[in-house]
Every structure is written in C-alpha cells, then in structure tokens.
C-alpha cells in the first residue's frame, strides 16, 4: 500500500489529510495531524490499551491500526464529548467514583467501556464490562475505583 490522502469522520467531524504515509498509525494521525491528544501513546505494541478509540463503534487499538486501514470510516476518541451520550455517562461514573488516578490510562478505559455499552446497552453484564477493560492497564492501580465505576454504570443503566 502506498501513502496518499485519507478522509475520516472523527468525533462527528469530517477530517482529511493529503499526504499520509502508508505506514502511519491511526494514533499518530489523531495526535499529530488532527491535534487530538486525548488518545494516549503507551506501549505502541497493543499491550496497554491507552490508545483505544472506536472505529465504527468497535474498540480499536490505534497504535496497531494503520490510518489507511480506516480511511472513510468513523472514529471516536475521548474528545467525542456530546457526540456520545454513552461516553458522557461513562465519564461521569469515572469522576463520581474517583477512577481517574493520574488520568493517563483513563481515556482508554472510558472509550473501551463506551464501545461495549453502545453495542450491548443495558444487556451488558458486569463480567462483560470488566472483560471489555481487560486489555487496559493502569500503573496507578486504580482498578478498585474503576470497578466501582462499572457498578455505578450497571446500577444507572437506562
């Protein structure tokens, strides 16, 4: 695959770039071309989950995804804001339960959980919610608070 132009719908906004190398990762496109720094760079090997975004609603590790692979698709990042009422609910639960710690891993946790809840809604079980977060690491050991945020989301499910 050679490089060239791409078009993405990022957080509800059409975004384009004309000179994207074939080897450029979605993580780098989001952070450096589109100035969306909420998606974090952690390991760059898919092992930490800090770079999780939604591509057409599915949790995706942006450090393992080439930008050209998602050309023409919808991407949601932690900056989605009002574009996703589900993400707003997840954010509120994390804040209420103090599940933020240093905050570096938080975007990946929030986006991964949002993806599951948008797919499964009220049908998502506690175990499914925790499984959706299994690929996300927190160095500050904030897992107890994250577990409480999951419980809050279950209790407040619409």
By CB atoms closer than 10 A (0-12, 13-18, 19+), residue 61 is: buried
Q: Does domain 82-155 have CATH number 3.40.50.2020?
A: no
Q: What is the CATH number of domain 4-79?
A: 3.10.20.30
Residue 1's pLDDT band (cuts 50, 70, 90): low
Domain with CATH 1.10.150.120 in the chain: 82-155
Q: What is the pLDDT of residues 122-142, one digit of tens each?
A: 889 999 999 999 999 998 877
Counting residues of the chain whose pLDDT is more than 90, the rounded percentage is: 85
Count the Cβ atoms, other than its own, within 10 Å of residue 29.
Answer: 25
What integer is the mean pLDDT of 86-108?
A: 93
Bridge-based pairing state of the strands 52-55 and 13-20 = unpaired
Domain with CATH 3.10.20.30 in the chain: 4-79
Closest-CA residue to 13 (of 75, 61, 59, 60): 75
**Which has the minimum average pLDDT: 3-17, 47-61, 103-117, 141-155?**
141-155
CA-CA distance, 47 to 121, in Å (whole number)? 26
Residue 33's pLDDT band (cuts 50, 70, 90): very high
pTM across the whole model? 0.93
């Amino acid at each position: 695959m050679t490089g060239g132009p791409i078009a993405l719908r990022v957080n509800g906004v059409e975004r384009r770039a004309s000179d994207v190398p074939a080897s450029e990762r979605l993580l780098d496109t989001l952070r450096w071309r589109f100035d969306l720094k909420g998606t974090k760079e952690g390991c760059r090997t898919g092992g930490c989950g800090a770079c999780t975004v939604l591509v057409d609603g599915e949790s995706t590790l942006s450090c393992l995804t080439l930008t050209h692979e998602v050309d023409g698709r919808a991407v949601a990042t932690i900056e989605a804001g009002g574009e996703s009422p589900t993400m707003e609910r997840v954010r509120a639960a994390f804040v209420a339960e103090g599940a933020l710690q240093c905050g570096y891993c938080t975007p990946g946790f929030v986006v991964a959980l949002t993806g599951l809840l948008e797919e499964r809604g009220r049908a998502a079980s506690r175990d499914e919610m925790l499984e959706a977060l299994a690929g996300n690491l927190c160095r500050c050991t904030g897992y107890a608070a994250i577990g409480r945020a999951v419980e809050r989301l279950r209790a407040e499910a619409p």
